[in-house]
Amino acid sequence: MDNIKKIANFLFELAGAKTTARTGWQRIGIKVPESLADHAGVSGQIAYVLALMEDADPDRAAALSLFHDTAELRLGDANWVARVYTDYENKKERAVADQLRDLPVGEQMKSVFDELKEMKTKEARVAQDADFLDMAIQSRYYSENGNQKAALWYESIDGYFSTKSAQDLYVLIGKAGMEEWWMEIDAIRKKFRK
């Protein structure tokens, strides 16, 4: 198989994130949870913004965040209950190694996964915080739409953040309503003041 075909195959594998459901939300009764792609996309955006707030490299933080759950394309989304009964971290490393084996850009991609595993850089810590912030926002969305178990998840991550900006945002996310952002648009605010 030529190099370009290996990359095309990897891209098809990445596209599988669109149909890979986040199973932790299913465990608490969410019938149609977000996909792995939904989570990775928003986490990457959060990482970019959070990196700007933390004076870190936003491009690197976003890249780390976008690829942080790539192993789940082969393992499935292993929620916290499933992880209790499996050797998840070793399986994750094996899955990533297999994904990158013989991939023309594999060495460059490996640096992403190594950096996330080691958690020594500010960008890796930002990416991890972005992962948790996205899940905090998602839990607030589900709880505001009637699933009270999602609120328990939100409460359980207090203290997980390694950056001050993420901790501050987490606190605000817990207080703010999901609809507040659009209620602050001038044209809408004026309409409802009448």
Going residue by residue through the chain, which has 194 residues, state the pLDDT in tens, using 9 for 90 and above: 578 999 999 999 999 999 999 988 888 889 999 999 999 999 999 999 999 999 999 999 999 999 999 999 998 777 777 778 888 788 889 999 999 999 999 999 999 999 999 999 999 999 999 999 999 999 999 999 999 898 888 888 888 999 999 999 999 999 988 888 888 898 888 887 76
Q: Which domain holds residue 26?
A: 3-193
What's the CA dihedral at 166, 170, 175, 176 to 10 degrees? 70
- Quick check: helix, strand or coil at residue 44? helix
Measured between alpha carbons, how far is 86 from 144 in angstroms, rounded to an integer?
32
**Strand, coil or helix: what is 76?**
coil
What is the structure's pLDDT at 88? Answer: 77
- Tokens of residue 190, six digits: 């004026």
**Contact present, 147 and 28 (Cβ < 8 Å):** yes
Question: What's the number of domains the chain is made of?
Answer: 1
**CATH number of the domain that 142 lies in?**
1.10.3210.10
* Per-residue confidence (pLDDT) for residue 82, from 0 to 100: 77
* pTM score: 0.92
The whole-number pLDDT of residue 178 equals: 85
43 half-sphere exposure, CB direction, 13 A CA radius: 28
* Per-residue buried b or exposed e for 54-66, using 16+ beta carbons within 10 Å of the residue's own CB: bebbbebbbbbbb
| 89, 116 Cβ separation under 8 angstroms | no
